[in-house]
Amino acid sequence: MGPEFGRLAYVRHIITYTLSPFEQRPFAKYFSVGLPNLWRRFRGQVFRVAPLFLAGYAVYSWAIEEEQRLKRKNPADYVNDE
Amino acid sequence: HPLIKLINQTLIDLPTPSNISACWNFGSLLGLTLLIQILTGVFLMMHFSSGDTMAFSSVAYTSREVWFGWLIRGLHMNGASLFFMFIFLHIGRGLYYASYLHESTWNVGVIMLLLLMATAFMGYVLPWGQMSFWGATVITNLLSATPYVGSTVVPWIWGGPSVDNATLMRFTALHFILPFALLASLVTHLIFLHERGSFNPLGVNSNTDKIPFHPYYTLKDTLGAALAASALLTLALYLPTLLSDPENFTQANSMITPTHIKPEWYFLFAYAILRSTPNKLGGVLAMFSSILILLLMPFLHTTKQQPMSTRPMSQLLFWALVLDFFVLTWIGGQPVNSTYILMGQTASVLYFAIILILMPTIGLLENKMTSFIYTISPR
């Protein structure tokens, strides 16, 4: 079902070198390179995602306050009632 | 051996792109959640009585008296929420990375979404609480808007003049059988997927850089499953009623209508679209269209680049669509007041506008803006 290993692609003149996993440290530079890379990836996306959600939150909190305001009477309207 | 060969081709030696991200975990998580739902559901069915006089108390009995019945019920209820969360994330991945270009896989996926929604809707009726009864009444009544046959079809579905014992019993049977139809669709979905192989976040042909599914993705999917299981257990053990409606702790009463009838959270976006349309038939059509529009996605793809990874303007629209989905979900759960009516209508129009008009237009604009031609690689 579908292409199997050996029938995926015909590639010529590509030589790959790999290190045995037993010769590597699996978590090498996990923090020293990983954390700056995480920050780089965050910065690349945050200005496409965050502004919309901040605007959405502003609309959400306005709507809730507006709904609360519409459910209440204005005390100033009844200030001179006897 | 043919069975071992099948398992080997699907889960062990399956060539998989080396760079698929966490967004690709949701497929396996959905399969796992389906399994959990079937297992917990079968155990719940052992103690459930589907008559209208017995259903509510049988569910209470299961929760209180059956050994770990409270846990099985908690897992089943919250498993349904998790199922929908995963499927929304899975569809979101599909929209972002244009997985809908695998048309056969995508179309079967939409059928699976419809089956899931039908299963969940009917499952919610079974405990026969107030929200079960009234939610079923509201949603099945919508079908009466169908021209000519509407008023005949609805009592036929109900099995009587209103939602009653007959409705509950047939929903029980259908709720039991549909997950197996979902399972069959899942197999079809995987067959179509494995014909071409998974896509990848970069949008390039990955045939030159594939790794075997085992051990890399068996391990990655196990990690995903462990995190999902933690989420499910946190909900089931600490917050079992966080996502449910307190009205459902009251037995169904056709003489008392709850103040705020609303479905479970995963249907609220469609409910908001339904309520935003003043016309009854229009609302029903808009509600169904909001799901069926997914079938149009392959035809609305105008850009030459497949994923949104390299298309920032489309990314903005994608996140606007996600935000709109959240707004619709929130509005669907709110009472119908002037503020929320306008917001719901705006969000509904925006939902269709983004998918039908803005995304295709931005796609065409992005084609003109890019300086190279990128063609979608045939497999």
Q: Which residues of chain B approach chain A closer than 8 Å at the C-beta? A: 9-10, 13, 15, 191, 194-197, 205, 207-208, 210, 212, 312, 315-316, 319-320, 323, 326-327, 330, 337-340, 343, 379
Closest C-alpha among B96, B100, B93, B91 to residue B297: B100
Whether residues B51 and B157 share a domain: the answer is: yes
pLDDT band at residue B230 under the 50/70/90 scheme: very high
3-state secondary structure of B278: coil
Closest among B44, B45, B104, B112 to B84, alpha carbons compared: B112
Instruction: Show residues of chain A in contact with B196, CB under 8 Å.
Output: 2
| Cα angle: B289, vertex B293, B297; to 5 degrees | 175
User: For residue B106, what are its two tokens?
Assistant: 């995508």
Quick one: average pLDDT of B40-67? 96
- For residues B141 and B172, membership in a common domain is answered with yes
Q: Please give the single-letter amino acid code of residue B261.
A: I
Residue spans of the domains in chain A: they are: 29-73
Could you tell me the pLDDT band of residue B375, with boundaries at 50, 70 and 90?
low
- pLDDT tens-digit series, residues B206-220: 998 899 999 999 999
Spatial separation of the C-alpha atoms in residues B74 and B40, rounded to whole Å? 9
Same domain, B51 and B100: yes
Query: Measured between alpha carbons, how far is residue B209 from residues A21, B16, B19, B198, B341 in Å?
Result: 18, 8, 9, 12, 51
User: How many whole angstroms separate alpha carbon B237 and alpha carbon B71?
Assistant: 7
Q: Say yes or no: B114 and B233 in one domain.
A: yes
Separation between Cα atoms, residue B321 and residue B359, nearest integer Å: 10
Q: Per-residue pLDDT tens for B1-29? A: 999 999 999 999 999 999 999 999 999 99
B231, B129: one domain: yes
Q: Is B47 annotated as a binding residue?
A: no
State pLDDT tens for residues B120-155. Answer: 999 999 999 999 999 999 999 999 999 999 999 999
Question: Average pLDDT of B103-123?
Answer: 97
Whether residues B243 and B268 share a domain: the answer is no
Q: Distance (Å) from the C-alpha of residue A17 to the closest C-alpha of chain B?
A: 13
Phi (first) and psi of residue A10, to 5 degrees: -105, 110
Interface contact A15, partner B, CB < 8 A: no
Report which of B293, B294, B285, B271 is spatially closest to residue B347, judged by C-alpha positions.
B271
The answer to whether residues B217 and B73 belong to one domain is yes
Beta bridge partners of B212: B15
- How many domains are there within chain B? 2
| Position B111 in a domain | yes
The CA distance from B360 to B303, in Å, is 8
Is B304 marked active-site? no
**B217 and B276, same domain (yes or no):** no
What per-residue confidence (pLDDT) applies to B371? 59
**Residue A72, H or E segment:** none
- Answer whether B9 sits within 8 Å of A56, measured CB to CB: no
Q: How many residues does chain B have?
A: 379
- Residue that is last in its domain, among B222, B252, B282: B252
The answer to whether the beta carbons of residues B47 and B58 sit under 8 Å apart is yes
Task: Read off the pLDDT of residues B246-274 as tens digits, 9 standing for 90 and up.
Answer: 999 999 999 999 999 999 999 999 999 99
pLDDT higher than 60, residue B376 = no
In a domain, B204, yes or no: no
Nearest-angstrom CA–CA distance, B316 and B321: 9
Whether residue B138 is found in the same domain as residue B269? no
Residue A12: the pLDDT is: 84
Instruction: Give the residue from B208, B331, B338 with the most A CB atoms within 10 Å of its CB, the best one to mutate.
Output: B208
Q: Which two tokens stand for residue B252?
A: 């169904």
Average pLDDT, chain B: 94
Half-sphere exposure of B355 (CA within 13 A, CB side): 23
According to CATH, the topology of domain A29-73 is 1.20.5
Residue B274 has a pLDDT of 96
Question: In whole numbers, what is the pLDDT of chain A averaged over residues?
Answer: 90
Query: What are B358-371's pLDDT values in tens digits?
Result: 999 999 998 888 75
Q: Is residue B93 part of a domain?
A: yes
Q: Report how far apart, in Å, the C-alpha atoms of B104 and of each of B20, B66, B147, B292, B377 are.
A: 21, 44, 32, 15, 17
Average pLDDT over residues B233-245: 96
Angle, CA of B42, B43 and B44, to the nearest 5° = 90
**CA-wise closest residue to B98 among B291, B299, B289:** B299
Q: Would you state the pLDDT for residue B304?
A: 85
| Residues A42-76: tens digit of each pLDDT | 999 999 999 999 999 999 999 999 998 888 888 88
Tell the residue number behind the tokens 């209180």, with chain if given: B64
**What digits encode the pLDDT tens for the residues A4-34?**
888 888 888 888 888 898 999 989 999 999 9
In this prediction, residues B79-90 reach a mean pLDDT of 98
- The vertex-B57 CA angle with B52 and B61, nearest 5°, equals 145
Token match 């998580």: residue? B29
Domain of residue B72 covers: 17-197+211-252
pLDDT of residue B370: 77
Rounded Cα–Cα distance for residues B315 and B130 (Å): 42
What is the per-residue burial (b if ≥16 Cβ within 10 Å, else e) of B98-117?
bbbbbeebbbbbbbbbbbbb
Residues ≥6 apart with Cβ < 8 Å to B62: B44, B47, B48, B69, B72, B73
Give me the interface pTM, i.e. the ipTM. Answer: 0.86
Residues B133 and B156 occupy one common structural domain: yes
Neighbours of B312 (CB within 10 A): 14
Domain CATH code at residue B106: 1.20.810.10
The token pair at A71 is 């459910």
The verdict on B233 and B299 lying in the same domain is no
Output the domain CATH number for residue B341: 1.10.287.980
Any domain includes B8: no
Residues of chain A with C-beta less than 8 angstroms from the C-beta of B358: none
